Every structure is written in C-alpha cells, then in structure tokens.
Amino acid sequence: MTKVYLTEFSSYSLSSMKKFLEIQEETHFRICLPKYTCSLNSSTFKVCSEYLDAAWVGHELAGISSSFMCEVPTLGRNGFFVFEIITENIKGLANILYLAAGGIYTYNPDFRKYGHVHELMTAFFQQVSDGSLVAASGEILDVVNRLMMDISSQLPQS
C-alpha cells in the first residue's frame, strides 16, 4: 500500500503526479488529507470548510475505486481525513490528487486550478443538496450538517 500525504504534492504537475503513482506499481492507496482546525479554537466556518473539502475529495476518490474506506478525524483535534482505496485507474487518481493538492491543500494555490476545483465542488454540493447525488463520503457530510445547524442556531432570528 502506498501512503500519500496530499500536502507533500502541492507543487507537482499532473504528469509528475501520474509518474509518481505509476512508479509505485500499486493499486492500494492510503490518501491522507490534513485537518488543521479544531472546533475549540477555530471558527465553525473554517472547520466546516475543511470537512466540505474532504467530502468532495472522498467522493471523487470513491468514484474511481473498486474499494473505498474513509476515516474521519475527531472534531476537536487536529489529524487527518484518511481514504483507503483500491483502484487501477491511475490516470483518474492522479487527476484527483493533482486538483486537490494544488487547489485546496497548498499555501500558494494556482488560482486557475483553485477556481476549477471550487466549480467542481460547488456542482457536487448542489447535487448533494438537491438529492440528485448520494455522496460516498456521507459520514463527513453528517459532520458538516451538524456544524451548519450550529451556525444557523447562532444567527439572529427575524
């Protein structure tokens, strides 16, 4: 099994990402996405945003995998979202990791890639919201729904 810590690949080109994955000669991957925020010392919006990002990445990974498992970190702690997948679709995996690493999990985003990733994420969340898509990363979205209820309860009532 190959472990991929996504933040280590933020500067990779798509061809470099694909080459890295091909060199591994693996079909079993453990993809780790960082969770930096803690609900105790971060805004609920920031925490929610991290979970939404991970939900999209997880759903995309599940779509190219013959086996998919997800580990969701505890809300009040730093940690990792971990996706364990089996896939032979190295080109698809490279594309997902390339977009996520350079469009979400980087300190210096390529704004074209960032914009494209967020268009894809917006379409994903719209489809989940209107019920036309069931997310493979539903357990992450359950946390998002709880956080959104917290945000809603804090808004002034009119």
Greater pLDDT, 153 or 88:
88
How sure is the predictor about 39, in pLDDT bands with cuts at 50, 70 and 90? low
pLDDT for 6-26, tens place per residue? 988 888 889 999 999 999 999
If one compares 81 and 106, the residue with the highest pLDDT of the two is: 81
What average pLDDT does the segment 90-110 reach?
81
Q: What's the whole-number mean pLDDT along residues 51-55?
A: 91
Evaluate if residue 111 carries a pLDDT over 70: no
Output the pLDDT for position 135.
84
Start-to-end C-alpha separation, the chain: 54
Asked if residue 4 lies in contact with residue 26, where contact means CB atoms within 8 angstroms, the answer is: no
Contact 69, 87 (CB under 8 A): no
133-152 confidence digits (pLDDT tens): 888 888 888 888 888 787 77
